[in-house]
Amino acid sequence: MAKIRPLGIYAFLYLAFLYVPVLFLPIFSFNDSAIVAFPLKGITTQWYANLWSDDAMQGALWNSLKVAVASSLVATVLGICGARALTRYRFPGKAGIAALIMLPLVLPEIIIAISLLVVLLQLGFSLSLFSVTLGHILMSVPFSIAVLSSSFEGFDRSLEEASLDLGEGPAATFFRVTLPIVAPGILSSLLITFTISLDEFIVAFFLSGTEPTLPIYIWSQLRFTAKLPNVLALGSLLLLASFLLLSVAEVMRRRAVRRAGAGTSGGFL
Amino acid sequence: MNDRIIIEIDRVTRKFGSFTALDEVSVQIREGEFFSLLGPSGCGKTTLLRQLAGFDDPTSGAIRIDGQAMVGVPANRRPTNMVFQNYAIFPHLTVEQNVAYGLRRLRLDGQERERRVKEALVRVDMAHLGARRSNEISGGQRQRVALARALIMRPKVLLLDEPLSALDKKLREQMQVELRHLQRAVGITFILVTHDQEEALTMSDRIAVMFGGRIAQCDRPENIYQQPRSRAVAEFIGGMNFLDAAILSESEDVIEVDVAGFGRAEVRKPAGAYFNGSGLTIGARPERMTLVYDEEAGHNRVVAGTVVEASYYGDMTYYAIAIESLDRPVVVSMRNTIGRRSLAAGEKVQVGWSPESLVPLV
């Protein structure tokens, strides 16, 4: 029998602390009672059924998806440009620029939200899903660059030269060599930035105006005790979706790194 | 090999900012020739190769391949193909797909295409591994794939950028022989960039030795080794003793010199060489001299010395011999044949030499 080591116990407690609270969400979402407390009363899928007919929730979900699709696309395109510049070229002030681009990773979200609010209002924008999308792009770009850098860093320039040498022009080289090799990285960036936008609350709260995104809708529902089980059901679904998306993203990123010919690196997740 | 010129490099200069990577390089390469560019890193050999491939253009000068001007022609429209230093095997494709990569542009029908891929793989002995992915083959096999991928295009010139430097010693020696055989079999002009003098000597028909963006000497391997024109070339290729000498007299093809520590000798003068002043440097390869053992006799010229150090290499032993009136010991190599005992430091010996041992250096 394996010896129980102190570090093993620590790791177990750590994981329990992280995930046990999250596990309550799906458990209570199937509980046949409006009161969130043990003991469980029975199993029901009523709360999930309620979601199905909740128009306000579906409107918020639709808003969130629009924002998430738009911001992940734009952030990934910007991320491709940024990651390529940072991994391929040398230019003056590179370290400083890289630090500034990555700064939103550590900047408190509330600061980003307030400053964006002030700037957008000063510029005369009205608050809408568009302003939320702008905020989410700002927050997503550093993540996109972090993910894409690892697949671009291993990209060997001589592969493109070899393709040219074998008679293919620049466009064919891009589609036959460059894109297939970095595609998993791009997909991974899209999935991660999509997830970030879908979950984001603070920036959306400040910038969304009259069209709530899903997290804001959930927050507003918490005021009504009777609606709480619905929120738990919704939360469980979101949890599942986020988990699936991020898993796919990480698998893609690893594939990108392997394809680019580099060894296994630490990775983003 | 024939005498038709396939590549003309005409006063090619390449500057990167204030750094001159190539300085008025001119050389002509014949069809079917195995030509090596040899030199230390930073000498411009890879820059010159990239100019031939079309990845870079000269600041001034002209390059012609098979009579066609090449400057400004992009890499994908040149009749050259390249084997990259790291092989640049496409990681998302199989061995077969890698080899067939360039054929797409030629619009061959399916049968012809398959036949050429198979032929190329058989030629490099990789036919059984066609379905493997690039991360499932070894370094030596990657090199074969890179060769097949380039040769399938039937280029007029094959460019090889240090293709053996990533392989271990044993495999490198084996690939040197194979590459040479392959070149004879296909009859294509090969241009090899290398910093390994042994590699250049064993494989090439001709070698251009480069230093600081210029070709210092361009000749057949035997001549490069036996008749280096300058101290830099002699130093870069093999071991060489450098001896000071005074010029006593000079005629059309011989110079009479007085070599420090060794005495007078008439040495052959390289064609077209001019010696200024009264002194020059003489080079002497370690294997072009001998140590005279007691039991041997009959050497016309000997000079007395003392063994300072013996370096054992298995088949050879290199002796550093101190000679009176020389401030540095000379190095003499001896093959360890039967019945020849090893000498120890401190032993008195006679160094046997002849005028053919000596090479005047510019």
pLDDT at A268: 42
**A30 in a structural domain:** no
% of chain B surpassing 90 pLDDT: 51
- pLDDT single digits (tens) B262-315: 889 998 888 777 777 788 889 999 888 888 875 555 557 888 899 999 888 888
Which of B92, B98, B103, B104 to probe by mutation at the A interface, max A CB count within 10 Å?
B92
Q: Do A161 and B90 touch (CB under 8 A)?
A: no
Chain A residues within 8 A of B85 when measuring between CB atoms? 158
* pLDDT category of residue B201 using cuts at 50, 70 and 90: very high
Which value does ipTM take for this structure? 0.79
Instruction: Dump strand ranges (E) for chain B.
Output: 5-16, 19-30, 34-38, 60-65, 68-69, 80-83, 157-161, 189-194, 206-211, 214-219, 241-250, 254-259, 263-268, 279-284, 290-292, 302-312, 316-323, 330-335, 348-352, 358-361
> Within 10 A of A10 (CB to CB), how many other CB atoms are there?
10
Q: Is the pLDDT of residue A178 over 90?
A: no
More confident residue, A112 or B83: B83
User: Is B257 within 8 Å of B360 (Cβ atoms)?
Assistant: yes
Burial class (CB in 10 A: 0-12, 13-18, 19+), B103: buried
pTM of the model: 0.75
For residues A1-30, average pLDDT:
85
For chain A, the first-to-last Cα distance in angstroms comes to 32
**Closest-CA residue in chain A for B88?**
A159
Asked if the C-beta of A267 comes within 8 angstroms of chain B's C-beta atoms, the answer is no
Burial class (CB in 10 A: 0-12, 13-18, 19+), A2: exposed
What is the number of domains present in chain A?
1
Q: Do B75 and A164 touch (CB under 8 A)?
A: yes
For residues A7-17, average pLDDT:
92
**A3 in a structural domain:** no
Which of B76, B117, B147 to probe by mutation at the A interface, max A CB count within 10 Å?
B76
Q: Do A168 and B149 touch (CB under 8 A)?
A: no
Task: Indicate the Cα dihedral angle A10, A11, A12, A15, nearest 10°.
Answer: 120
State the amino acid at position A257 in one-letter form: V
Chain B residues within 8 A of A168 when measuring between CB atoms? 76, 101-102, 104-105
Q: Is the pLDDT of residue A160 over 60?
A: yes
Q: Do A156 and B88 touch (CB under 8 A)?
A: yes
**A5 in a structural domain:** no
State the amino acid at position B176 in one-letter form: Q
Q: Do B153 and A167 touch (CB under 8 A)?
A: yes
Q: What is the number of H-type helices and E-type strands within chain A?
A: 12, 0
**A35 in a structural domain:** no
Go through B63-75 and write b for each residue having 16 or more CB atoms within 10 A of its CB, e for each that does not.
Answer: bbbeeeebeeeeb
Interacting residues of B47 by C-beta distance below 8 A, sequence separation 6+: B14, B21, B22, B56
Handedness of CA B69, B74, B75, B77 (dihedral sign): negative
B interface with A, Cβ–Cβ < 8 A, is: 53-55, 74-77, 80-82, 84-86, 88, 90-92, 101-102, 104-106, 135, 149-150, 153
Q: Do B91 and A164 touch (CB under 8 A)?
A: no
pLDDT at A264: 40
Q: How far, in Å, CA of A75 to CA of A93, rounded?
A: 22
**Closest-CA residue in chain B for A182?**
B92
**A159 in a structural domain:** yes
Domain range enclosing A247? 41-264
User: Is B40 within 8 Å of B162 (Cβ atoms)?
Assistant: no
Residue A81 belongs to domain with CATH number: 1.10.3720.10
> Which of B54, B82, B86 lies nearest to residue A156, judging by beta carbons?
B86
For residues B183-187, average pLDDT:
89
pLDDT at A266: 40
Name the token pair of B311.
């370096």
**Closest-CA residue in chain A for B82?**
A165
More confident residue, A129 or B14: B14
Q: How far, in Å, CA of B260 to CA of B301, rounded?
A: 14
**A6 in a structural domain:** no
For residues A197-208, average pLDDT:
89
Asked if the C-beta of A164 comes within 8 angstroms of chain B's C-beta atoms, the answer is yes
**A166 in a structural domain:** yes
A 71-130 residues with CB < 8 A to B: none
- Interface contacts A/B by beta carbons within 8 Å: 69
**A202 in a structural domain:** yes
pLDDT at A265: 40
Q: Do A165 and B104 touch (CB under 8 A)?
A: no
Residue with token string 């036919």: B127
